[in-house]
Amino acid sequence: MGRYLTTALALAMVGASAGAAPVAYKALDPGAYQSFVGNWTPDSAPLCAVIGSAANWDAVLHPAAVMGGSNRFAPPPETWRSHVVLLVAKVIPGGGKGSALEPVSVNDAGGSLNVDYKFTPPPASSFTIKTYMALEIAKPIPESVVFKENGQTVCTLKPAAGAWLSPPAPPQ
């Protein structure tokens, strides 16, 4: 009896996720842009954003002009006509090697875009840094975007309703 129950549960779980369609994405290299993620509160939580315009990009990422720098500050303006950037940022211990944030999948689950990523905490350090993962996907996108870290929902955004950033930017 236990074997049949396990099989039925496995089939139900497969059936529940069968409606999700994979969405093609391009991971952006943070090193390709001379930009840094601005501060947010609380910085113990991840920052999530559905960036659909140059103004959204500038609200989240700020130029880091340095002498001799030749990288762009942002994706080219034509990007925003046909694409959005899904971004998640975290404050993490500094000095680790490799990427702490790695994309796992992006799926359209009928009205909701699920962005699954893996977070591997670096070892403890005497300082912290901000790191981010940015994925470029084609427009249009579903009305809801759910960011999942290691399988757990950390942010749900509804960009069409104006909720494209979490936590929201403080009033200026």
Cα 154 to Cα 115: distance, rounded to the nearest angstrom = 10
Q: Decide: 125 and 154 in contact? Cβ < 8 Å.
A: no
Strands 21-22 and 101-108, bridge-based pairing: antiparallel
Q: Decide: 113 and 141 in contact? Cβ < 8 Å.
A: yes
What pLDDT does 91 receive? 95
CB atoms within 10 A of CB 116: 15
**Bridge partners of residue 149, in order along the sequence:** 117, 152
Q: Supply angle C-alpha 13, 157, 51, rounded to 5.
A: 120
Cα 70 to Cα 36: distance, rounded to the nearest angstrom = 15
Q: Could you report the per-residue pLDDT of 30-70, keeping only the tens digit for each? A: 888 888 899 999 999 999 999 999 999 999 998 887 756 56
pTM for the model:
0.84
What pLDDT does 68 receive? 60
Residue 14 has pLDDT above 70, yes or no: no
Residue 70 φ/ψ, nearest 5 degrees: -130, 5
Cα 106 to Cα 84: distance, rounded to the nearest angstrom = 13
pLDDT confidence bin for 152, thresholds 50/70/90: very high
Percentage of the residues of the chain whose pLDDT score is greater than 90? 67
SS (H, E, C) 78-143: CHHHHEEEEEEEEEEECCCCCCCEEEEEEEECCCEEEEEEEECCCCCCCCEEEEEEEEEEECCCCC
